[in-house]
Amino acid sequence: MEFWLSNCRPNCPTNKLTITFKKEYDVVEICLFSPFGQKKHKAPTIEFILNGQESYTEESDLEERIEYISEDISDLEYLTDIALLENGADCSATSQVTNLFRCQLALDLISGIQEANQEWSADCSGNNCIGQYINISFKIYGNPVRYCFMNRLWSIKYITKVKVKWTSGLEKFINLEKNTHQQCFEYSNGYIETGIHVEVVEIASSQNIGFSSVQVFIKGICQPFCIYSSHREIYVKK
């Protein structure tokens, strides 16, 4: 992953980053991530200026999302990640190097970006890495529209092909590029899914493959749009 780093020593409070969009958008959410694990290197205060007019400041250590919800935004224009820990998702995996590399870290996008090795890593080598899997169950049920994977950020240990199994019974093979970027794919089958199983098929590594992030998105803002449950439901075709 690439980051913007300012050459600000010692005048960091005066640094600015300007982003210009090609067209107008209703801003739904602003997400900021620091490339440093140590808090002394993070910006405790951030000021936002939108359209040269709206301005507000957030006290933040850049470890949380900063939500900026437009009152005019439609539910169907908003995507919710139902594979996120804070949205109730949980997971299991065939293996992990230690508890510091548990699969739950792949359900928390911030962990892998904030600090090295805060991601799921399987305890495997060679051909034993083939067949390793992460199984994710959702608390929020919905009809996915997009799902994304991110290889491990802090080591060159790439997964290049996976088999995705949905709880509806659908299966699909997905090819992944040899990089640490977010790689997303469309889901257009119309089923309400309660979980996803991702199995490693091919790798470009000798050991300890894994994911920094696995995301599954549905349309709409969670409450009260989403269906919450602690047990499995009948699969519904829309």
- Region for 35 from its dihedrals, namely left if φ exceeds 0, alpha if ψ lies in -120 to 50, beta otherwise: alpha
Strand (E) positions, the chain? 29-30, 45-50, 54-59, 66-67, 79-81, 90-93, 120-121, 133-142, 144-151, 158-166, 171-175, 183-186, 193-204, 210-219, 227-228
Q: Yes or no: say if 183 and 204 are a contact pair by the CB < 8 Å rule.
A: no
10 Å Cβ neighbour count for 132? 24
- 164 and 199 both lie in a single domain: yes
- 163 and 65 both lie in a single domain: no
Place 55 in a pLDDT band, splitting at 50, 70 and 90. low
184 occurs within a structural domain = yes
Place 231 in a pLDDT band, splitting at 50, 70 and 90. very low
Report the predicted TM-score, pTM, of the whole model to 2 decimal places: 0.70
Of 109, 87, 77, 91, residue with least CA distance to 228: 87
6 occurs within a structural domain = no
- 106 and 182 both lie in a single domain: yes
- 165 and 50 both lie in a single domain: no
- 50 and 88 both lie in a single domain: no
Highest mean pLDDT among 43-52, 110-119, 212-221: 212-221
- 223 and 116 both lie in a single domain: yes
Q: How many Å apart are CA 1 and CA 212, to the nearest integer? A: 11
Q: How many Å apart are CA 202 and CA 190, to the nearest integer? A: 28
Cross-strand partners of 49? 55
Q: What is the number of structural domains in the chain?
A: 2
Cis previous bond, 144, omega within 30: no
233 occurs within a structural domain = no
32 occurs within a structural domain = yes
Per-residue pLDDT, 211: 95
Q: Which two tokens stand for residue 35?
A: 């490339």
Place 2 in a pLDDT band, splitting at 50, 70 and 90. low
Coil, strand, or helix at residue 87?
A: helix
10 Å Cβ neighbour count for 10? 5
With a cut of 60, say whether residue 113 has pLDDT above it: no
Question: How does pLDDT run across 127-152, given as a tens digit for each residue?
Answer: 999 999 999 999 998 899 999 999 99
Q: How many Å apart are CA 134 and CA 83, to the nearest integer? A: 12
- 215 and 113 both lie in a single domain: yes
With a cut of 80, say whether residue 233 has pLDDT above it: no
Q: How many Å apart are CA 114 and CA 36, to the nearest integer? A: 6
Per-residue pLDDT, 58: 65
- 20 and 108 both lie in a single domain: no
5 occurs within a structural domain = no
Last residue of a domain, one of 51, 73, 95: 73
Please report the DSSP string for 136-181 in residue order.
EEEEEEE-EEEEEEEE-SSSS-EEEEEEEEETTS-EEEEE--SSSS
Question: How does pLDDT run across 14-54, given as a tens digit for each residue?
Answer: 778 888 888 887 777 777 766 555 566 667 777 778 777 76
Question: How does pLDDT run across 143-195, given as a tens digit for each residue?
Answer: 999 999 999 987 889 999 999 999 999 999 999 999 988 999 999 898 999 99
- 121 and 155 both lie in a single domain: yes
Domain that holds residue 26: 12-73
- 111 and 38 both lie in a single domain: no
